[in-house]
């Protein structure tokens, strides 16, 4: 219902969208990159690092108020370069001069935010290839949880503490370590307060906000949000942009369809649909609830070999059925220890990989959760943004009760029904 807007919907949407601002800091010199131009103005994929970053922001679901913070002598050229793009995306634009440090540059952006802005995302232009869905997800998480949100990735390398002379002192337990990225999102009042009271220099906004005694939480990061720092990073970015362009121009490489091509031979361009359902009982112990890819603090958990995320599993089944690849049970067998206790995201990412490897891309997915708890509505946007990002396609999440009937009505468990559309690549 929430998207069924009446007369004046466009104005309403505009006023809602301007409640989110994205400050893109692009005023650094890029010493480590060693290019003649400031880093954000270095050529990338036919445009610049900054243009790539801006295109991610302007593809957000809700057009934001965009603030670009650039070197003082680039303010006018940047405004001319991006005004039309922002306008076409329905976003408002401000361009201001940065300061001597990243922190001063963010402060310069904060200083010009319109009063209507409630949620602020701060983003490094140097993370030029950050997908729009990560912006959506961070914004949705800030709005749902009302505190700071940072995208974070697990640290995959073994980490050592090393002395100045290079001698290894110890191996650090990496299980609680995360590498954090941008965009980092905050309720506007928290960020204003933290910046007004900051006494030290910090390398990211989450550290500054945490130093002010405010809560910051993580959401899953994205490898494509890596920071262009040294020349090798720029080469990696060039390669990724080139691959993206090639895929868009000619379609993805068509691997053979899952059934050997028999049905596709007759209708090579037909999309395919699939349906999936899943049921999990509530657990008797105090295990946490994971549903629709999200952790639900304070809610009773679901039992299962994995985390019991019925919504994620129904989506996997729908996608696998659409591609003719079998079902969750046959692909992710309970004997496979890799999936014991795994979260829905792991299954979804692997399912997406299998679907794409079989020559399809995901068109869209819907999933409906049937149960009394948890109440979905407050976190629906968050769930949709997360699932959409993992699958690289729009995911709609709905919920209903079963009018007190059956096992869902008695509160014994949760069911989920999903439909997926996939199209030949
Ligand atoms: N930044 C900024 N103002 C500064 C310093 C940095 O707006 N005074 C921005 C950069 O443009 C970049 C982001 O902060 O988008 C992250 O900083 P970093 O990657 O360190 O970029 P640079 O400072 O430009 O690079 P270097 O440290 O190698 O000089
Ligand atoms: Mg720097």
pLDDT in tens, 219-241: 999 999 999 999 999 999 999 99
Question: What is each CA distance from 331 to 64, 100, 233, 320, in whole angstroms?
Answer: 40, 53, 35, 9
User: Is residue 215 helix, strand or coil?
Assistant: coil
DSSP string, 310-350: HHHHHHHHHHHHHHT---HHHHS-TT-GGGTT--HHHHHHH
Q: Burial level of 235, CB count in 10 A (0-12/13-18/19+)?
A: exposed
Rounded to whole angstroms, the Cα distance separating 359 from 424 reads: 6
Looking at residue 255, what is its pLDDT? 36
Distance, CA 49 to ligand 2 centroid (Å)?
15
Rounded to whole angstroms, the Cα distance separating 406 from 193 reads: 50
Give pLDDT tens digits along the chain (425 positions). 333 333 343 343 344 445 999 999 999 999 999 999 999 999 999 999 999 999 999 999 999 999 999 999 999 999 999 999 999 999 999 999 999 999 999 999 999 999 999 999 999 999 999 999 999 999 999 999 999 999 999 998 999 999 999 999 999 999 999 999 999 999 999 999 999 999 999 999 999 999 999 999 999 999 999 999 999 999 999 999 988 887 776 554 433 333 333 433 334 468 899 999 999 999 998 889 999 999 999 999 999 878 899 999 999 999 999 998 889 888 887 777 777 778 888 899 999 999 988 888 999 999 999 999 999 999 999 999 999 999 999 999 999 999 999 999 999 999 999 999 999 88
Rounded to whole angstroms, the Cα distance separating 183 from 57 reads: 10
Ligand 1, pocket-test mutation among 22, 28, 123, most atoms within 8 A of CB: 28
Looking at residue 249, what is its pLDDT? 64
Which one of the ligands is nearest to 29 CA? Answer: 1
Distance, CA 247 to ligand 2 centroid (Å)?
33
Rounded to whole angstroms, the Cα distance separating 363 from 352 reads: 11
List, in order of start, the domains of the chain with CATH numbers. 7-162+171-241 (3.90.550.10), 272-424 (3.30.1330.50)
Q: Which atom of ligand 1 is nearest to the CA of 100?
A: 8
Is residue 101 in contact with ligand 1, taking CB distance under 6 Å? yes
Is residue 234 in contact with ligand 1, taking CB distance under 6 Å? no
Is residue 97 in contact with ligand 1, taking CB distance under 6 Å? no
CA angle 142, 147, 153 (to 5 degrees): 70
Ligand 1, pocket-test mutation among 24, 31, 32, 39, most atoms within 8 A of CB: 39
Terminal alpha carbon distance of the chain? 33
Q: Which atom of ligand 1 is nearest to the CA of 229?
A: 19
Rounded to whole angstroms, the Cα distance separating 382 from 141 reads: 6
Q: What is the reported pTM?
A: 0.65
Is residue 30 in contact with ligand 1, taking CB distance under 6 Å? yes
Kindly report the protein residue whose alpha carbon is nearest to atom 10 of ligand 1: 28
Looking at residue 224, what is its pLDDT? 92
Is residue 31 in contact with ligand 1, taking CB distance under 6 Å? yes
Is residue 123 in contact with ligand 1, taking CB distance under 6 Å? no
């Amino acid at each position: 219902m929430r998207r069924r807007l009446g007369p004046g919907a466009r104005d309403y949407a505009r006023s809602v969208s301007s409640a989110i601002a994205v400050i893109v800091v692009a005023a650094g010199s890029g010493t480590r990159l060693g290019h003649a131009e400031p880093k954000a103005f270095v050529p990338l994929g036919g445009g610049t690092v900054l243009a790539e970053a801006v295109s991610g922001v302007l593809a957000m679901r809700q057009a934001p108020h965009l603030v670009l913070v650039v070197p003082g002598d680039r303010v006018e050229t940047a405004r001319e370069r991006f005004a039309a793009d922002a306008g076409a995306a329905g976003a408002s634009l401000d361009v201001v001069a940065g300061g001597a440090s990243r922190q001063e540059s963010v402060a310069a952006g904060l200083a010009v935010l319109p009063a209507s802005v409630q949620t602020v995302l701060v983003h490094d232009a140097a993370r030029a290839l950050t997908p729009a869905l990560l912006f959506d997800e961070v914004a949705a998480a800030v709005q749902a949880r009302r505190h700071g949100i940072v995208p974070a990735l697990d640290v995959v390398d073994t980490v050592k503490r090393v002395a100045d002379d290079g001698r290894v002192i110890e191996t650090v337990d990496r299980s609680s370590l995360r590498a954090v990225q941008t965009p980092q999102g905050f309720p506007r009042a928290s960020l204003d307060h933290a910046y007004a009271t900051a006494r030290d220099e910090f390398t990211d906004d989450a550290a500054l906000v945490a130093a002010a005694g405010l809560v910051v939480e993580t959401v899953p990061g994205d490898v494509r949000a890596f920071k262009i720092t040294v020349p090798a990073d720029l080469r990696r970015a060039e390669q990724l942009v080139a691959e993206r362009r090639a895929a868009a121009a000619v379609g993805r490489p068509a691997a053979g369809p899952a059934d050997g091509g028999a049905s596709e031979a007759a209708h090579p361009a037909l999309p395919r649909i699939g349906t999936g359902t899943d049921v999990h009982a509530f657990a008797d112990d105090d295990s946490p609830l994971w549903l629709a890819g999200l952790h639900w603090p304070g809610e009773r958990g679901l039992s299962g070999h994995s985390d019991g995320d019925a919504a994620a599993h129904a989506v996997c089944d729908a996608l696998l059925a659409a591609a003719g690849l079998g079902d969750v049970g046959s692909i992710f067998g309970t004997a496979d220890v890799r999936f014991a206790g795994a979260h829905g995201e792991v299954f979804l990412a692997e399912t997406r990989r299998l679907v794409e490897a079989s020559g399809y891309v995901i068109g869209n997915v819907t999933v409906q959760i049937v149960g009394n708890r948890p109440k979905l509505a407050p976190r629906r946007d968050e769930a949709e943004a997360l699932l959409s990002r993992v699958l690289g396609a729009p995911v709609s999440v709905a919920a209903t009760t079963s009018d007190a009937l059956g096992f869902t009505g008695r509160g014994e468990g949760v069911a989920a029904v999903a439909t997926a559309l996939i199209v030949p690549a």
